[in-house]
Amino acid sequence: MPKTSFTTELRELADPLWSRELTHPFVSGIGDGTLEIEKFQFFLKQDYIFLVEFSRAISIAAAKAKQLDDMAWFSRLLDETLNSEMALHIEYCKEFGITKQQVLDTRSEPGTHSYTQHLISTAYSKTALHTAVAILPCAWGYAEIGQELATRKMKLEQPLYKKWIDMYSSEEFANLAGWLREYIDREALLLTAPHKRELEGIFLISSEYEYQFWDSSYEMRTWPFES
C-alpha cells in the first residue's frame, strides 16, 4: 500500500479546523444565499487586500525556488493573481455596488492584517516550500468550500453568490491546489521529521487564520480606532 502523501497528512491534521469553516454562518450563508450583503461587501474588500499581500508572498517564493520550473510556476501564479484575478475581483465588486476606488482605499482590518503578516513573515524568513505550505490552506480550502457549496441548494435566489461558488468550485481553481500539493509532496520527500513538524505548524496556523478571516468578515470586525 502506498505511503500517505505529506499534504494528505497535513489535511487530516487540520480537519477539525477545516470542518469548522464549512459550518461557519458566513460560509453557510454564501451556500444558501442568506448571507447579508453588507457582510459579503466587507469580505470582498478585505479579500482584495489579502490578494495584494498573497501576491507579495508568491513573488518571494518565486525568487527563492530552487528549480527553474518551480520559479516559472510561481511566476505564472503571480501573473495570474496580479493581472487576472485581481482585475476580475474589481469587476465583481462593482456588481455589489463597490467602486474600484473604494476597494483601493480599503484598510487592512485585524483578521486580514494578522493573516497576511503570517504569510509575508513566512515568505521572507523561510524557504519557497514554507511559503507554499502557508498559502495551501487558502488555495485548497477555497476549492473544497466551493465544491461543497456547489452541492447545496440555495434557499434564496442569489446569482451573485452563485457566481462566487462557480468560480471556486471550478476545475481551474482546483488545479492550483493540485500543483501546490505536488510541489510540497515532492519537496517533503527530502525532509527530516523536525522539518515536517515545522511545516505542520505553519499549515495549522494558516488554517486557523482562514477560519478567522471568515469570522472577521461575518462580524465585520474592525480596529477599535479611527485611522
Task: Assess whether 210 carries a catalytic annotation.
Answer: yes
Average pLDDT over residues 8-21: 97
Domain holding 61, by residue range, is 19-219
Three-class SS of residue 135?
A: helix
Catalytic residue among 85, 109, 187, 210: 210
pLDDT at 78: 92
pLDDT at 1: 41
Task: Assess whether 93 carries a catalytic annotation.
Answer: no
Q: Is the model's pLDDT at 208 over the cut of 80? A: yes
Phi and psi based region of residue 127 (left: phi greater than 0; alpha: psi -120 to 50; beta: remaining): beta
Flag whether 166 is in a domain. yes
Flag whether 11 is in a domain. no
Interhelix angle 25-32/159-168, nearest 10 degrees = 110
Cα 178-181-182 angle, rounded to 5 deg: 85
The alpha-helical segments, DSSP class H, found in 24-67 are 25-32, 37-64
- Cα distance between residue 138 and residue 77, in whole Å: 14
Q: Decide if 200 contacts 13 (C-beta within 8 A).
A: yes
- Cα distance between residue 129 and residue 216, in whole Å: 28
Looking at the structure of the chain, the number of domains it has is 1
Length, in residues, of the chain: 227
Flag whether 8 is in a domain. no
What percent of the chain stands above pLDDT 90? 84
Flag whether 159 is in a domain. yes
Q: In Å, what is the CA distance from 52 to each residue of 25, 133, 142, 161? A: 26, 18, 17, 22
Question: Within 13 Å of residue 30, how many CA atoms lie on the same side as its CB?
Answer: 31
Three-class SS of residue 88?
A: helix
Range with top average pLDDT, 86-90, 165-169, 201-205: 201-205
Q: Is the model's pLDDT at 200 over the cut of 60? A: yes
Question: Within 13 Å of residue 28, how many CA atoms lie on the same side as its CB?
Answer: 8
The enclosing domain of 142 has a CATH number of 1.20.910.10
Catalytic residue among 93, 109, 138, 187: 138
Flag whether 77 is in a domain. yes
Per mean pLDDT, which range of 2-6, 96-100, 205-209 is the poorest? 2-6
pLDDT at 227: 62
pTM for this entry: 0.94
Q: Which residue has the cell 510541489?
A: 183
Q: Three cell numbers at 70?
A: 518551480
Flag whether 3 is in a domain. no
Flag whether 68 is in a domain. yes
Q: In Å, what is the CA distance from 158 to each residue of 47, 85, 99, 126? A: 20, 22, 21, 42
